[in-house]
Amino acid sequence: MKLNLTLPKFLRIGTLPLVLIVLAAIAVVVAMARYAYGIGAISDLSYSYPWGFWISFDLFTGVVISSGGFLMAGTVYILRIKEFQPLLRPAVLTALLGYIMVAVALLVDLGQPLRIWYMMIYWNHTSVLLEIGICVMSYLTVLAIEFAPVVMERFPKLHKAAHFIHKFIMPFVILGVVLSTLHQSSLGSLLLIQPQKLHPLWWTPILPILFFTSAIAVGLAMIILESSLSSRYFQRGLETRLLAKLAKAIPVVLVVYALIKFGDLIVAGDLGYLFTSGWMSVLFWAEILIGVVFPIVWFSVEKNRVNPNALLTGAVVTLLGLILNRFNVSWFAVKHPDPLFYLPTFMGNVKYFPTLPEVAVSIGIFSAGILAFGLIAKYFPVFEDEGRAAHAGD
Amino acid sequence: MTDIKHHAYLFDATRCIDCRACMVACSVENNIPMNKTRIWVAGLGVTGEFPNLQRSTMVYHCMHCAHPDCMSACPVGAYTKAEDGPVTYNPDKCIGCRYCMNACPFGVPHFDYDKGLIDGAFIDKCTFCPQRIYNGQEPACVQTCPTDALEYGDRDELIKRAHERIAAHPGRYIDHVYGEFENGGTSYLILSHVPFEQLGLPTLPETPINEVSEKVMAMTIPFALGWGAVLTAVSAGVALYEKKKNGKAAEEKAEPAETSK
Amino acid sequence: MTQTISRRDFLKLGAAGAGALALGSMLPPRAAQAARASGQLDAGGNGYVHSTCEMCVWRCGLIAKVVDGRVVKLDGNPEHPHSRGKLCPRGQSGLMNTYDPDRVLTPLVRMGKRGEGLFRKASWDEALDIVASNMLKIKEKYGPEAMVFSSTHNLSQVQFENLLYAFGSPNYGTQRSLCFNAMITAFLLTYGIEEPSRKYDDVEFILMVGRNMMEAISTSETGELAHAIDRGAKLVYLDPRYTKTASKATEWIPIRPGTDSAFLLAMINVIVSNELADCDFVKQYVIGCDGIQAEMRKYTPAWAEKITGVPAATIERIAREYAAAKHNALAHPGWRTSNFVNSFQTERAIATLNALSGNVLTPGGCLSAEVAAEGAGLGMPKQPPYPRVSALRLDGVSWKYPLVPLKLGVFQELRDAIITGEPYQAHGWFISRQNPIQSLPDRNKTLQAFGKMDFIATVDIIMNDTAWFSDVVLPEASYLERYDPLLPVDGKAYIRQPVVEPQGEARSALWIYKQLGERLGLGDYFQYEDEEDYIRQQLKPLRVSLEEVKEKGYAEMPEEPKGEITFNTPSGKIEVYSETLKKAGFSPWPTWEEPPAPKEGEFYLLTGKVAQQTQFGTQNNQLLHKYSDEPRLWMNAKVAAQNGLQDGDWVEVVSEVGKVYIPLLATEAIRPDCVYLTPGYGHLSKGLTTAHGVGASDSALHVTYTDPISGGQALSQTFVTVKKA
């Protein structure tokens, strides 16, 4: 007997969304296990490794890849460079979803996820993490406001409200840039309290400045990446002209970054560590070569700035390198207690390797984010500004 | 015992025989679950080659720092430093972010990875036995130590005693009382016959290590206000400039229409 | 992860145990009422109670904190000379011993085969009747000597012995021959006392042969030794293993096992040949000062170097340093020294060294021969005279072992007699507070001997291995739940009293022995109503009330007038030269006896205590388990590498009598020709849910070697092969 498997239209989904849904579902299941049995049941975190894959991937990486939002908002609204309007909404959406992913990830990672809002009422003003918490929560609100019009434009009844928001968007944009500056840099500041644990090739009092500078480069690369992937998936044109300009800015930013970084190493007298630190040196040079040198060289060539494939390649490599930097600073280059003889033996775990469930949670959340991006882009006017002038100030 | 201004411990690594009575006493006194501990042993253990051997171990618990990094780092202020010494953790505020575990240079705060959402996963650490020290007793670990490797008293007095002991036995100790100045001073002081790293103690400067972090944090609000002001100025300036440009362009636009007519 | 609640199908002990753990006893608190009456606990069951620890033989005074009728913390009693306010890790874990979920809380009667662990609960009446009737049956059929009685020395020992003597059996097993027969016999023969006491206030030089004081902790003495070293006293410590005491010693001598007496005899040689001892002073108290030079001439440092592996110059120097400290030098009597058959001679040499230094002759010196007899000054319930015993002792005292005191015995030799039935067959075994299955060397032999028994009854607080193989298990109350006879220490009689009411139906040994005695028709020998009455009778000569003693924790005893320093030997002097030994056919002087040595490819199997455990009885204590090192076989790291073994590898350890499997610890802390196995593990009883399956049994490997003079078991004379499992 032949099975009649005609699915109703809305259930017919492509392979990619299906995969993303499955990954997200796995993450949900693992999260449930975490809530039932504790973080230790599904991860390799321990006394020596309180932070691992989740913090490096979900928090550090998640936040930095959302930096395109404030960059485009600042460019379009503050600097009034209207030609970048088409890139604004996707960047804001990327940022909004990025920060939501961070929040969701924290709901799994925190010991008391239901108390996440305590950061709004209990304040320890010396804590970098508090600053990040408050900034991220506030900025999520700002992003929601900045993105709200996109949703509202879908519903004629809400057009007036959308217009209203447009009119008073400026203070929010400024607030958004300030908040972003604060928390993008503060992620670096998180490590300031561990001078003896983070390797001298990375630890410096100007970590916040370095993090902010590289966040700009990451934001630019992310916009290129997101545009390239969206254009391929949704089969739309690519704003190559605009992306070329972004790509031109990347080497500038990274040269500044490199100058600050190496200048700081010289001032601190830490140049000696560059080649003598074993694996730390390897990781350092990997991060510099991949995330700084390569993009500077690559995007200095005009050909690479205008060719879609070259753009994508350059962006991906830049991101990999700078994300490696985030992993180095938050995990790989951090000294965890040495394997000295420990008693009782349940304290002896001084090695850490993320478990499959740990990684699955992060990947699942990330998948949900991509899925959300795709759905929102499909049903809401995220890409509508292409080829149109901006509305600012109307 | 009643005249203690600043409660502190003194550990003498030459007296410790690694019997772990202190650890059992702490577990019993504070009702610690079987798979947790507030006090543990670290160090290189037995080193050297037979028969030239040496043993170095140390009993660890919270150092009750003068400038606690846990307190500095905790976003919700779950840690407090009492005036008379003990650093106390308050589980009622804790959100379980584990930043304190990163911040503490000694690896003291222990997070309960085995608790789910309902029980709640909290930090556990040495409390300095307040139920004992404010009742005229010594902390559980100190009282039971058979060789008096662990001693308790007023911090200044213990530091004096420690230096006297070093002077009384030249060559026996490293001429340094760990914790006198490290990280701005701790309330767990250590005397050792071997370099302190061999006991698992980190080498720390005299300035508290949270100094840079706190300095940067103090700049946050001024910076935010300043940056916000700059951005406002820039956006106002750019808006003004654009208006001027638009105005001129509008004029220019109007003119050709006239001339071409 | 260890189970905190036991899971057993047949052994339904868990219910009572778990219930007790959760709620405390539901029975009306008779004992606790008593405590409340004396003002130590308030109406809510809160307060502090004085008592005595039992986690080892040192018996520190403790103060127990009780909340809601449960003991929540134990602290050392600052006024007790053995604790001085401190408790070792085992003492601190004592309440886990009381609240162990594996406690036996009702009498049990075996159902399946021995060793299957199938028991049914029984009432006290039924269980005691079974025990008594079986014992009487054996007495009638085979004579009272067919019952073996064994117990490790404890505070109720006097009543255990009472039962033994009243019953009329000569067969008495204690743990002493597994421990310090060598020391006690040597000091009895040399000084006339069992064990001289040590004082560390002024000691300048301490020589220890084994006696790993920092791991075999005797709380106050460990502290005193630590403080003496701290003060600047020099410790020379002989041990083939780098123990924690070795790490505190000024000088660690990694001596070849079994050769300590050579080292010591060479020291004596140096001292007497160079006339470094104040012989004129010493002469008046010592027999043997005259002939000693000639006798010791052959034991030169050069001779000792060849045997011990210690350079002659070192031996010479140490001897001189020892002598230079004069009466502030202490050669510590120790307990087992190297655990070889020649350990008796080692102890004789130690006694001689002390005599030469004059320390025991100096009032208030670091060694003292003044020891009050146990129980002297206290009252006792009246007793009719004991029946005469004509049968030979199965352990060979004194017909095979003429010099071994009756109260020490030669426990390990009982089993051959049981197995062979020579000189007569034993049929029953009554065990109290002892675990011979685990503690006697050659565990298979012990199991074999058990197999020959018609009836075995054990008194214990937990399903230890011996209880596991018994026919009836009688639950004793733990030391925090019971009274025991008063224990005099340094002029005060200290009490052990219930801190909390006994859980389940556990009862004190005093009660059990009396109940059993009555059913055996020996009620006249147990003339006390209950435990409190017993203690009141003990207190009678002191004219102080029980309530006062319970409150204070002790009773003052009248001071013994100090007379001249005398020695309870036949001559009244220290007998370095012993006529008694000569008459028995042994060397009258301390002498060298060549120990056996392992063959090529074999290792000396060493043993030695750890601070977190007490012999074979504490491995189930969850608190101690938590803070113990994993039991391993220690092997010298280089030797391990040579044999292709890595740290952590599972190895097969084989001796003449057994085979065990255990992970290896490759370490620098041991001589290349030795291996060491953490003792006490490898329990057979599945009723020990924490301990079962952990480690391996050293007793399964130990070969039985008995010293003909002292009857001591040579635990380290076993040699083993080790290979990858």
Same domain for B140 and B224, yes or no, is no
Cβ contact C95–B28 (<8 Å): yes
The per-residue pLDDT for A109 is: 95
Neighbours of chain B (3+ CB pairs under 8 A): A, C
Note whether B17 and B129 are same-domain residues.
yes
Q: Is pLDDT above 60 for A336?
A: yes
Task: Say if A115 is an interface residue toward chain B (CB within 8 Å).
Answer: yes
**Quick one: how far is CA C453 from the chain centroid?**
25
Closest CA–CA distance from residue A347 to any residue of chain C (Å): 11
Residues B229 and B204 in one domain: no
Q: State pLDDT tens for residues A80-126.
A: 998 999 899 999 999 999 999 999 999 999 999 999 999 999 999 99
Contact B71 A196 (CB under 8 A): no
Cα–Cα distance, A239 to A90 (Å, whole number)? 12
Q: What six digits make up the tokens of A96?
A: 């909004």
Residue C626: helix, strand or coil by DSSP?
helix
Q: Does A389 touch chain B (CB under 8 A)?
A: no
Q: Which long-range contacts (CB under 8 A, 24 or more apart) does A269-275 make?
A: A270/A200, A270/A201, A273/A199, A273/A200, A273/A201, A274/A201
Query: In Å, what is the CA distance from C108 to each residue of A157, C449, C621?
Result: 84, 22, 22
All partners of chain A with 3 or more CB pairs under 8 angstroms: B, C
User: Are residues B21 and B141 both part of a single domain?
Assistant: yes
pLDDT 10s digit of each residue in chain B, 261 long? 457 899 999 999 999 999 999 999 999 999 999 989 999 998 888 999 999 999 999 999 999 999 999 999 999 999 999 999 999 999 999 999 999 999 999 999 999 999 999 988 999 999 999 999 999 999 999 999 999 999 999 999 999 999 999 999 999 999 999 999 999 999 999 999 999 988 989 999 999 999 999 999 999 999 999 999 999 999 999 989 888 888 877 777 666 555 444
Final residue belonging to a domain, choices B165, B182, B208: B208
Alpha-carbon span A341 to C669, nearest angstrom: 15
Pair B174, B136 in one domain: yes
Whether residue B201 sits in one domain with residue B141: yes
Answer yes or no: do B200 and B225 share one domain: no
Contact (Cβ atoms closer than 8 angstroms) between residue C102 and residue C687 = yes
pLDDT digits (tens, 9 = 90+) for A131-183: 999 999 999 999 999 999 888 888 888 888 888 888 889 999 999 999 999 99
Residue B213 lies in a domain: no
| Interface contact C627-A344, CB threshold 8 A | yes
Interface touch B146/C222, C-beta < 8 Å: yes
**Closest-CA residue in chain C for A344?**
C627
State whether B196 and B108 are in the same domain. yes
Which residues on adjacent β-strands are paired with residue C52? C61
Domain boundary among B183, B208, B233: B208
Q: Are strands C659-667 and C633-636 parallel, antiparallel or unpaired?
A: parallel
Are B165 and B237 part of one and the same domain?
A: no
Chains A, B: CB contacts within 8 A come to 203
The residue type found at A202 is: W
CB A225 within 8 A of CB A319: yes
**Cα separation, A132 vs A180, whole angstroms:** 10
Asked if residue B96 belongs to a domain, the reply is yes
C410, C397 contact by CB (below 8 A): yes
| Full set of structural domains in chain C with CATH | 108-179+375-488+504-556 (3.40.50.740), 189-371+565-583 (3.40.228.10), 603-724 (2.40.40.20)
Least confident range from A10-24, A239-253, B16-30: namely: A10-24
> CB A111 to CB B200 under 8 A?
no
CA distance B121 to chain C (A): 19
Do B175 and B92 reside in the same domain of the chain?
yes
B49: which 2 tokens? 């080659």
Average pLDDT over residues A363-387: 86
Provide the mean pLDDT of chain C. Answer: 91
DSSP A9: G
- List pLDDT tens digits, range C356-397: 998 988 888 899 887 666 557 899 999 999 999 999 999 999
Statement to judge: residues B80 and B11 lie in one domain: yes
Partnered with residue C457 across adjacent β-strands are: C430, C472
Tell me if chain A has a CB within 8 Å of the CB of C275.
no
- b/e C90-124 (16+ beta carbons within 10 angstroms → b): bbbbbbbbbbbbbbbbbbbbbeeebbebebebbeb
Residue B152 lies in a domain: yes
The confidence band for A348, taking pLDDT boundaries of 50, 70 and 90, is: low
Strand residues in C602-711 grouped as ranges (E): 603-606, 633-636, 650-654, 659-667, 674-677
Task: Work out how many domains chain B is built from and give that number.
Answer: 2
- Cβ pair B217:A127 closer than 8 A: yes
Q: From residue C496, give the alpha-carbon distance in Å to each of A165, A310, B37, C62, C156.
A: 82, 86, 31, 9, 11
Q: Note whether B134 and B255 are same-domain residues.
A: no
Query: pLDDT-based confidence at C38, cuts 50/70/90?
Result: low
Instruction: Tell me what pLDDT residue C8 has.
Output: 37
CB proximity C25 to B under 8 Å: no
pTM for the model stands at 0.91
Question: The domain containing residue B67 runs over which residues?
Answer: 7-208
B177 SS3 class: coil
- Give the pLDDT mean for C326-355: 93
- DSSP secondary structure string, C304-348? HHHHH---HHHHHHHHHHHHHTGGGEEE---SSTT-STTHHHHHH
What proportion of chain C, given as a percentage, has pLDDT over 90?
83
Rg (CA), chain B: 29
Angle, helices A159-167/A128-152, rounded to nearest 10 degrees: 130
Minimal C-alpha gap between C94 and chain B (Å) = 10
C671–B50 C-beta distance less than 8 A:
yes
CB-side neighbour CA atoms (13 Å) of C223: 20
Residue C23: is its pLDDT beyond 60? no
- Report the CATH number that the domain containing residue B191 is assigned in CATH: 3.30.70.20
